[in-house]
Structure 1
Amino acid sequence: MSWARHIGVWAGTLLLLATGAWSTPAVAADGPTVTTRYGQVRGAAGESAHSYLGIPYAAPPVGSLRWRPPVPPARWSGVRDATTPGDPCMQTASGSPWGDLAGPGTPSEDCLYLNVHTPARPAPLKRPVMVWIHGGGFTVGSGAFYDGSTLAADGDVVVVTLNYRLGAFGYLAHPGLAGESAEGISGNYGLLDQQAALRWVRDNAAAFGGDPGNVTIFGESAGGGSVCQNLVSPRTAGLFDRAIAQSGCGFTLPTQESQERGGTAWAQSLGCADAACLRALPADRLLTAAQSPTARWTPNVDGAVLPRQVTDALESGRFHRVPVLQGTTADEGRLSVATTYDLAGRPLTAAGYPPAVRALYGERADAILARYPLSDYGTPAEALGAILTDSPFACPQSRTAGLAARYVRSYQYEFADRQAMDHLGLPVSFPIGAPHGSEIRYVFGGVEGTPAQNALADSMLGYWTNFAKTGVPYAAGAPRWPLFPQVQTLAPEAITPGTTFPERHKCDLWDQSAS
């Protein structure tokens, strides 16, 4: 498993351990009933929030619909039970020793479901809607893994979490599939699923007390990348009003052409030369083959769904002009180091540090090692963790925040609770700090820590939900959050703005490689 895949796996595992996100509220026989455009659903009543789980937002993408854009679901008669999540999308077990990111249910191709969480108390006005796009490296995860009840109740918002097709099922690009498309495109089926879910929200949010004219998309890791991809996709015009990208904006995507070359080779390994052959294969065989170490399952720049790279679109102003909040954690890369080395039984040594950097960065390694000498860090793991924080996360996200700031209100943060994951007792030889994914439970309201950590979580939930309400992040009793280039540091010790973020993360080095 690559270090990038490790990041998606462990981020969700940390949230599972921290929040117990698989739990659902007790079900009453006479649970709340809502009428959607496709039929009635009966949810589960909670003391502070109601939950409506497993609502189909598109038809099952099976049979002839495998590797095709999503189509609306069939209508149903009677009242549909909405107390159990729909099955997660096809994926393998995460490989984590503590849990599987798929969440409840059995991975299936029939997986295009979403979940709605609403405050239990009535409101005189429609509430803002926050639509969560989960992470997991585009290969694992589910919407139901994240319980939005606390966020909905404490933030007075409607929270929607969703599934989207993953891995080969969501991102296979192939000339045969492009030949079926009037636009000649293939490979972005998972992204198209997210967009179908946003159309469902536009059409049905009001029935749940949500305001379809005030929708915020937010997500972390691959979900944060998805937020920025939707931000620049012409297909999402009018579907959302704010965007929050957590640890994911700025990743460079492959072209459709390069993805189709890889997809063709992958299909040939299965004995298939065309789409019909691939659709005839059982899903389990495709899933097994999708674990090939050479396969790259990710969105692609196809000229239509994604006309250009996210950074190019932001730089030229060709994106939806909505307020954007984005940021990273202070120690993103330490999670990858932990999983690649310590938790694999081979802690990184001083002698192993230069070869590790050379394996990742090739001819640029000497220049990088000069900027990240071991003498500056407590352990080799912390040194490599700093590189894997700054290169793929901190500096790309800082760059996208700056590009967006030319056109819209742009806010950037750094989550810096260095004890955020101490309660897990991870068996590693170095401080895990504030790693990738450690901010999620602070946003969703699952923190039971020190008084300072609890106060930080309260402030962050307030910042996120008030940004969803107004386009400005603020929270009761918390410091003001200034616009970019100020970066808001979110730490239990203090919440403070500053302008040293690019220098601290050596972005001059990494911005050179991006240009």
Structure 2
Amino acid sequence: MHEGAFPFHQGEFLNWRDVPPPHHSTPLGRRGFLGAVGATTGASLIGTLDAAPASAAVRAAAERPVRTRSGLVTGVPAALDGVTVYKGIRYAASTAGQNRWRAPRPAPSWTGIRKADTWGAACPQPVTGIDAGKVPPLSEDCLNLNVWTPEADAKARRPVLVWIYGGRNSAMWASQPVYDGAALAAKGVVVVTFNHRVGAFGGLVHPELSAETGHGGSGNWGVLDTVAALRWIRRNIAAFGGDPERVTLAGWSHGSSFVNILMISKLARGLFHRGLLAAGVQYTKDPALGHVAGGYDSLAAAEANGSAFAAYMGASSLADLRALSADEIVSKVYAPGAPSTGTDFGNVLDGYVLPTTYTDAMESGTEYDIPVLTGNNRDENGASPTLAMTVAQFREYAATTFGDRAAGFLKLYPATADAEAAAQYNNYARDEERVSTFLWGTQFRDTAGNRSPLYNYWWTHAPPGTDTTNAIEPADGAGAYHGAEKYYLFGNLYGTDRPWTAEDYAIADTTSSYVARFAATGNPNGPALPPWPAMRATKPLAMELGDAFATLPAADSDAKFAFLKAYLLSQPTEY
């Protein structure tokens, strides 16, 4: 979706969500180990992504065929001993040809035994500037998934975590090491990652498509792929040791917007039972929703964009559009200088996949009543330790944003020097992010009347160094940047070449234990973990994760909380 822009210099790309992919050229490297505490035994597990010392028992387990509804598969030892991974299993048919911009079709069956030992193709997207060694094959036959399990036994009934990647049109595939599920599997969770359609292939809305679907809208193809993956999981995950009645749908950034949509949509009800939204959610009247990944366009606006896309591609009909090659679409849509009109693809209020607005879902009580874990990061929402801003720019921002409230804002966040202006902007941005998430939580609990608990976090730890192993990671990410918590949620520090420290290992162990407990019970708390209280509408708090594990206020003072709450509540647009 749209990206935010700020009228001042920033030391890195600081839009609110979904930073563009970095372009790394450093050769792939691996170093570092993870001390992961087993979920039931407390044993320490150490391994590397490239060469896990698989035991004979694990090798035998990986070679034992697992029966899916489509056919038999075998896996391979994963990054940590005791875990098997099944790679590239198709959950739906190819989306090429006449299946392009249609709801996913069932995957074809096969005879014999398939070796699920190779990552599947990613969906077509621009990869210019990304090290070729990090790019999987690109194909419209891309609807495939990966399963990590400690025990492929139908009697095991372990909790399941389904992860949806984030991103901004590029570096969007499920096989990046940052999404490796072995550490969570070692803690007793069956982990699934999957590829879904992205960019023009995942988001095109067009009047002819809306007429073709039979329900009056189009687009949201990536969300429909997610529903297809969840249906596959419902039918098949027990064979991999998973419990189809304990599925957590989790995502980061654009992926979290899919979770948000499916908490409103009826299409996936009963297919998942908890929601984990990492970077995250906003109060449904937050102006940020006009330009972040969690926002959406109206059907009319998206159809106009689709018509402009067809004209830009030189296509006079839907048949002409489907006749174009995937390479033609990618190269033209994402070419330098491509017009914004006709090349903007994101979520859409189509009346079917997303049947109503976020606000209406809360007010009508139709928001899915499931346990939720959600949060945001200290150095996103425009905040960054490298931010540069003048006093004049800060005051201009205050006047433009807050109008007749600007004087009150500047009293709470005073700045008389440029360094103060940058620091106070950071303080404000961090406060507002926490307040917005907290207000969403009060909507979830009070407005919607849900009884399920909600756990909100504030991520504060900055990963050390840089990461050349994952194309999705920013080369110049500063502080606790957008997406910094992914490593720690998965606990998979072994998969990257950052110079991890003992502190990082400890943070990753605690954070991934919270995730494993939430997947298992709907509550992140567990033995030996710092207590994480569920959110209460009467206590504006968040749980700090990272540099500390303790509660902190939703804003730095009661006065700041009151100001930002009043500002957000006063906004006229209800998304």
Of 393, 413, 431, which aligns to 2:456?
413
* Aligned partner letter, 1:471: G
Which residue is equivalent to 1:440?
Answer: 486
Q: After superposition, give the CA deviation of every residue in 1:372-391 in whole Å (9 maximum; x if it has no partner).
A: 55459846555555565566
> Quick one: distance in 2 between partners of 1:354 and 1:446?
39
Which residue is equivalent to 2:570?
Answer: 512
- SS of the residue 1:317 aligns to: coil
Q: After superposition, give the CA deviation of every residue in 1:229-257 in whole Å (9 maximum; x if it has no partner).
A: 11111101110111111113243321111
Which range moved further: 80-89 or 449-458?
449-458
User: Shift of the alpha carbon at 1:60?
Assistant: 0.6
* Aligned partner letter, 1:300: V
1:81 equivalent in alignment to 2:115 = yes
- SS of the residue 1:74 aligns to: coil
Which range moved further: 41-50 or 440-449?
440-449
Which residue is equivalent to 1:401?
Answer: 441
Which residue is equivalent to 1:285?
Answer: 328
Identity of aligned residues (%): 32
Of 543, 550, 553, which aligns to 1:496?
550
Which residue is equivalent to 2:76?
Answer: 44
Matches within 5 A, 1:15-414: 23=49, 31-46=63-78, 47-93=81-127, 103-119=134-150, 125-137=156-168, 140-145=171-176, 146-250=178-282, 251-291=294-334, 292=338, 293-294=340-341, 295-333=343-381, 348-350=388-390, 353-354=393-394, 357=397, 370=410, 373-375=414-416, 378=419, 382-383=423-424, 385=426, 393-406=433-446, 407-414=450-457
> Structure 1 residues 314, 302: CA separation in 2 closer, same or farther (over 3 Å shift)?
same
- SS of the residue 1:88 aligns to: coil
* Aligned partner letter, 2:215: E
User: Shift of the alpha carbon at 1:417?
Assistant: 2.9
> Quick one: distance in 2 between partners of 1:87 and 1:359?
49
* Aligned partner letter, 2:84: H
Please, what is the CA RMSD of the aligned residues? 3.8
> Quick one: distance in 2 between partners of 1:18 and 1:405?
44
Question: Which is richer in helix?
Answer: 1
Give the TM-score, by structure 1 length.
Answer: 0.85
> Quick one: distance in 2 between partners of 1:19 and 1:10?
26
> Quick one: distance in 1 between partners of 2:467 and 2:247?
38
Are the equivalent residues in 2 in contact too, given 1:133–1:223 (CA < 8 A)?
A: yes
Alignment gaps of 5+ in structure 2: 6-12, 34-47, 283-293, 469-473, 494-498
User: Shift of the alpha carbon at 1:151?
Assistant: 3.2
User: Shift of the alpha carbon at 1:446?
Assistant: 2.7
> Structure 1 residues 306, 377: CA separation in 2 closer, same or farther (over 3 Å shift)?
farther
User: Shift of the alpha carbon at 1:186?
Assistant: 0.5
Are the equivalent residues in 2 in contact too, given 1:54–1:115 (CA < 8 A)?
A: yes
> Structure 1 residues 359, 441: CA separation in 2 closer, same or farther (over 3 Å shift)?
farther
Give the TM-score, by structure 2 length.
Answer: 0.76
* Larger RCO (CA under 8 A, 6+ residues apart): 2
> Quick one: distance in 2 between partners of 1:31 and 1:386?
54
> Quick one: distance in 1 between partners of 2:186 and 2:310?
48
* Aligned partner letter, 2:301: S
> Quick one: distance in 2 between partners of 1:212 and 1:234?
18
Q: After superposition, give the CA deviation of every residue in 1:6-53 in whole Å (9 maximum; x if it has no partner).
A: 642468999x99999995667969734211100111211232311001
* Aligned partner letter, 2:173: S
Are the equivalent residues in 2 in contact too, given 1:118–1:152 (CA < 8 A)?
A: no
Which range moved further: 268-277 or 49-58?
268-277
Alignment gaps of 5+ in structure 1: none
Of 518, 524, 539, which aligns to 1:467?
518
Are the equivalent residues in 1 in contact too, given 2:174–2:193 (CA < 8 A)?
A: yes
Q: After superposition, give the CA deviation of every residue in 1:419-473 in whole Å (9 maximum; x if it has no partner).
A: x2233399x9x99332211111111113474444433322211211111111111
> Quick one: distance in 2 between partners of 1:266 and 1:19?
45
Query: Quick check: which has more Rg, 1 or 2?
Result: 2
- SS of the residue 2:373 aligns to: strand
Aligned residue pairs, count = 499
> Structure 1 residues 493, 397: CA separation in 2 closer, same or farther (over 3 Å shift)?
closer
* Aligned partner letter, 2:326: A
* Aligned partner letter, 1:211: D
User: Shift of the alpha carbon at 1:276?
Assistant: 0.9
> Quick one: distance in 1 between partners of 2:105 and 2:21?
31
- SS of the residue 1:460 aligns to: helix
Which range moved further: 368-377 or 502-511?
368-377
Q: After superposition, give the CA deviation of every residue in 1:263-313 in whole Å (9 maximum; x if it has no partner).
A: 111211112232111111111121133334343211111111111122331
> Quick one: distance in 2 between partners of 1:232 and 1:94?
36
> Quick one: distance in 2 between partners of 1:333 and 1:17?
31
> Quick one: distance in 2 between partners of 1:135 and 1:498?
27
Are the equivalent residues in 1 in contact too, given 2:256–2:276 (CA < 8 A)?
A: yes
> Quick one: distance in 2 between partners of 1:172 and 1:149?
31
> Structure 1 residues 431, 216: CA separation in 2 closer, same or farther (over 3 Å shift)?
closer
> Structure 1 residues 327, 3: CA separation in 2 closer, same or farther (over 3 Å shift)?
same
> Structure 1 residues 103, 218: CA separation in 2 closer, same or farther (over 3 Å shift)?
farther
User: Shift of the alpha carbon at 1:400?
Assistant: 2.1
> Structure 1 residues 266, 450: CA separation in 2 closer, same or farther (over 3 Å shift)?
same
